[in-house]
Structure 1
Amino acid sequence: MPLQRFTRVYGIQDAKISALTADPASGTPTYGTAIDVPGIKTFEVSGDVEVKTLRGDNKKLATNSALSNVQVAVSHAKVSLDVLVAILGGEVTDSGTTPAQKSRWDLKGSTATFPAFKLEGVTPANGTDLIGGDFHVVLHKLTLSAFPDLGFAEEDYRIASFTADADPLTSTDDWISIVLNETAAAIV
């Protein structure tokens, strides 16, 4: 019997970003090592539809709709310097020895590259109708669409967030994938 194709979706347990390192016109895309998005809180996918209406003879004759954009909005509880490199560019430099170690992310005009990346999020096991199953959302090729929200908040935690626009892969035309697993599977 095939797996049911509908489910409730509860919670988000993990999200990872992987740099898109190659997307050849004929071939297979390649990605860098997956980077954890620490303290993932939300992973919201939305899209824009462009609608064209044809009118004539003083009435509506036809309507055509086309998907014009897919966007993701992510919020996470902890700031990761490695995630900043993956979505904005720049570089991280580690220096010093205990007790004076330092990790420093620097973004310069020459390193603000806004690289392409893949983003995958997953529910916890049992976050679906399937006992022991999970639900994955994969956006195969993203580019940051606004500078990420960073900074501080008085007497409160500051939640980091970013938004990115999706494009179909050149190599496979994959844009977004949703996977419902009977048995929970980790993001690879």
Structure 2
Amino acid sequence: MPISRVTKVYAIQDAKIAPLTSDPSGGPAVYGSLIDVPGIKSFEISGDVEVKTLRGDNTKLATNTSITNIQVAITHAKLSLDVLVAILGGTVTDSGTGSTEVSTWDLTGANATMPPFKLEGVTPPNGVDIVGGDMHVVLHKLALSAFPDLGFAEEDYRIASFTADADPLIANGKWISIVLNETAAAIA
């Protein structure tokens, strides 16, 4: 008997990004290494629907709708230079040794590539109705839709955030997947 398709959704425990490196027709899509989104706080999905109404004979005859956009908004507690490279481009350079070590992210006009990426988030175990289970949400192909919120805050922590728009994969047409697991599983 299959597991229930109905569940509560409680909290988010982890989120990871993977650069999309290949999306050939007929698939499969290929992703780079997973990058942790540190201190994930929220993972919100919204979408836009276009409605076309056919009218004639002074009455409504038909309505057709289509999804025109799926968007995700992410907030996370800690800044990651590797996440910035995955969503914006740029390069990270490590230099120095011992107490003079430095890690620098540089974004230039030439390396601001806005690369496509996959994003996956997961509830904690028991964050769903299935005892010991979890729920994963995967957006298979995203592109940043606005520059990330970065910077500082006076006498407070600065929370990083970004928004991205989904496109269907060329490989299989997938935009978003929601997976309920009977046994909790790490993002892989």
Q: Secondary structure at the match of 2:100?
A: coil
Listed one character per residue, the Cα deviations across residues 144-187 of structure 1 (whole Å, up to 9, x for unaligned) are 00000000011111000000000000011111000000000000
Listed one character per residue, the Cα deviations across residues 50-100 of structure 1 (whole Å, up to 9, x for unaligned) are 000111111111111101110000000000000000000000000001101
CA distance in structure 2 between the partners assigned to 1:140 and 1:164 by the alignment: 12
1:107, distance to aligned residue in structure 2 (A): 0.2
CA distance in structure 1 between the partners assigned to 2:65 and 2:29 by the alignment: 29
Number of corresponding residues: 188
Counterpart for residue 61 of structure 1: 61
Alignment gaps of 5+ in structure 1: none
% identical equivalent positions = 73
CA distance in structure 1 between the partners assigned to 2:187 and 2:2 by the alignment: 23
Counterpart for residue 50 of structure 2: 50
Q: Give the counterpart letter for 2:49 in structure 1.
A: V
Q: Give the counterpart letter for 1:127 in structure 2.
A: G
Q: Give the counterpart letter for 1:51 in structure 2.
A: V
Matched, 1:31 2:31: yes
1:21, distance to aligned residue in structure 2 (A): 0.3
Alignment gaps of 5+ in structure 2: none
Counterpart for residue 185 of structure 1: 185
Is 2:17–2:119's contact at 8 Å kept on the other side of the alignment?
A: yes
TM-score (norm 1): 0.99
The equivalences for 1:1-188 within 5 A come to: 1-188=1-188
Listed one character per residue, the Cα deviations across residues 93-143 of structure 1 (whole Å, up to 9, x for unaligned) are 000011010000000000000000000000000100011000000000000
1:25, distance to aligned residue in structure 2 (A): 1.0
Q: Give the counterpart letter for 2:171 in structure 1.
A: S
1:27, distance to aligned residue in structure 2 (A): 2.5
Q: Give the counterpart letter for 1:169 in structure 2.
A: L
Q: Give the counterpart letter for 2:33 in structure 1.
A: T
TM-score (norm 2): 0.99
CA distance in structure 2 between the partners assigned to 1:135 and 1:25 by the alignment: 29
CA distance in structure 2 between the partners assigned to 1:27 and 1:120 by the alignment: 19
Q: How large is the Cα RMSD of the aligned pairs? A: 0.5
- Structure 1 residue ranges, 4+ long, deviating more than 3 angstroms after superposition: none
CA distance in structure 1 between the partners assigned to 2:83 and 2:154 by the alignment: 24
Is 2:27–2:170's contact at 8 Å kept on the other side of the alignment?
A: no
